[in-house]
Amino acid sequence: MTSEQQRVVVIGGGLAGLRLAARLGAGAGADAGAGGAAAGPDVTVLGEESHVPYNRVLLADVLAGRYAPEVTALPAPGPVLRRGVRAVRIDRADRTVHCDDGSTERYDTLVLATGSNAVLPPLRGLFEPEGRELPDGVHAFRTMDDCLALSAAVAVREGVRAVVIGGGLLGVSAARALAERGARVVLAQQGERLMERQLDADASALLHTHLTALGIEIHTECRVRGLTTTQDTGRRQVTGVEFADGYRLDADVVVLACGVRPRTGLALAAGLEVRTGIVVDDGLRTSDRRIHAIGDCAEHDGRVYGLAGPALEQADALAARLTGTTGTALAAPAYTGTRALTRLTLTTAAGTGTGSGPLDLAAFGETTPLPGDDVVRLADATRRTYRKVVVRGDRLVGGVLLGELSSVGALARSWEDEEDLTDLFHLLTDDGGS
């Protein structure tokens, strides 16, 4: 550990920031145990949320009533975490972070792990002129506060009508959880099919069938234009949604699941290079070499991942660089990107009586073939399973699995390691291809 890295401040108390803090502590302990090494870094994590740190991936399970909020808690970070403190300004010249409570934190190395915000679409009636307060009954689905508020909204009575805007991973997760809670759910997707970024047409059709079996009403190629509200009680309350074709649908609850956007405001104000996310190099450094970025806010080689797997991998790579656990910081392996796999597993809560069984899906790599690619599909209508892989030459370049994921581990390893394929059916089936 060099003197330039003695004081590490991490802005963001989510999965990436806390993983980095834990790894920095572990690396420092390993150095100290080796004898003669300098003391580890003095780490402070600034966490904006007042909740105990939690795993955001499990929010849909909390909304469905499957898990209590405390089940989602991440390992206790100890005194390094300052909860309920928001960083408001970075003074790069003075190497100081200014916080909303008036405190300051000096740094030798600063790490931005600010995550992302829910996208709020430009809907007519969403905000009042000069206002930024959502109407009662309108919820994003990104934080624990969002989840708890939405849970309370559907618990007021049986059969609350909920309109979910967005048919991606967030929207599908929210719609299914709300249906399990007894809400009457309408899912509005602007694109041609559900989860179109991850799934091909066949897998998306199977997902569509699964959700409609739960009683979810699905509309694709359907754009929501605005919200209708009432203000009888002095506060605005949502009453419905209006579609682009003029059709209006009553709603007690509206969920905005239109994707996420990297939180880059602090970086922009500090003069760092920002495109879609905060631009970082193979050392996860920003345009200021004392400042790094990891997780949902970081853009590496033109890509923002927005997934837990890459965030954890970036945190591990940066910790190795900052602690020199691979020798020296300069000798630490470069971060060259993550081959990210999207996985969604939602089991039906006991006693719901839906009868539709679990929903398991995974997608990785290039799921749409290029000219000349080979495509192998295995479908079982009885078991409602679907597997498809895309092969380019002798390499597996992508795949989609729905309904049965026993082979996903072997497929993902072959894809990640860029192995030459010798027995595709052994990888694709759970019975060795027999």
Prediction pTM value: 0.90
Could you tell me the residue ranges of all domains in the chain?
Answer: 3-117+261-323, 120-258, 341-428
| CA-based R_g, the chain, Å | 23
Q: Which long-range contacts (CB under 8 A, 24 or more apart) does 28-37 make?
A: 28/1, 28/323, 30/323, 30/325, 31/1, 31/323, 31/324, 31/325, 37/1
Domains 120-258 and 341-428 share a fold: no
For 312-384, list the strands marked E by DSSP.
341-346, 359-365, 374-380
pLDDT at 352: 45
173-205 residue pLDDT tens: 999 999 999 999 999 999 999 999 999 898 999
pLDDT at 254: 98
pLDDT at 184: 97
pLDDT at 304: 97
pLDDT at 28: 53
- Residues (pLDDT < 50) of the chain are 1-3, 5, 29-37, 326-329, 349-355, 431-434
Nearest of 159, 227, 152 to residue 188 by alpha carbon: 227
Name the fold adopted by 120-258: FAD/NAD(P)-binding domain (3.50.50)
pLDDT at 434: 36
pLDDT at 348: 55
- How far apart CA 127 and CA 111 sit, in angstroms, is 33
Residues 6 or more apart in contact with residue 95 via CB below 8 angstroms = 106, 107, 108, 110, 290
Name the fold adopted by 341-428: Enolase-like; domain 1 (3.30.390)
- How far apart CA 287 and CA 184 sit, in angstroms, is 49
CATH of region 3-117+261-323: 3.50.50.60
Per the structure block, which two tokens stand in for 99? 């916080």
Looking at residue 220, the DSSP 8-state letter turns out to be S
- How far apart CA 162 and CA 154 sit, in angstroms, is 8
